[in-house]
């Protein structure tokens, strides 16, 4: 009775990308490792989005959110480094 199609299952890479993107933003507070986690999340998000486009799974919005959070997690440390350079020099 409860049939599940492939499009109703959220792509695991999309979920992992979102989680890594959020973690990358939170890690910025503690260290610069947020950029590294953000890069990994971005790569996984792009692969997940490609799988979703090929029709294997659903979760396009989750993948896009993961990519956006990962990009923020990459850009914020760079901006903070530039700001700190200008403040200290």
Would you say the pTM of this structure is higher than 0.85? no
Q: Which pLDDT score, from 0 to 100, does residue 70 have?
A: 94
For residue 3, the model assigns a pLDDT of 38
pLDDT averaged per 10 residues, the chain (length 89)? 56 93 86 86 95 87 95 90 89
Among left, alpha and beta (phi > 0; psi -120 to 50; other), residue 10 is beta
d(CA 48, CA 58): 10
What is the Cα–Cα distance from 39 to 47, expressed in whole angstroms? Answer: 13
């Amino acid at each position: 009775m409860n049939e599940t199609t492939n499009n109703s299952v959220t792509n695991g890479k999309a979920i992992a990308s979102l989680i890594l993107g959020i973690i990358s933003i939170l890690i910025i507070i503690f260290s610069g490792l947020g950029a590294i986690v953000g890069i990994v999340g971005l790569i996984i998000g792009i692969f997940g989005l490609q799988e979703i486009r090929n029709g294997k799974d659903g979760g396009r919005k989750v993948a896009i959110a993961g990519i956006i959070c990962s990009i923020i997690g990459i850009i914020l440390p760079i901006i903070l480094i530039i700001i700190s350079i200008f403040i200290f020099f």
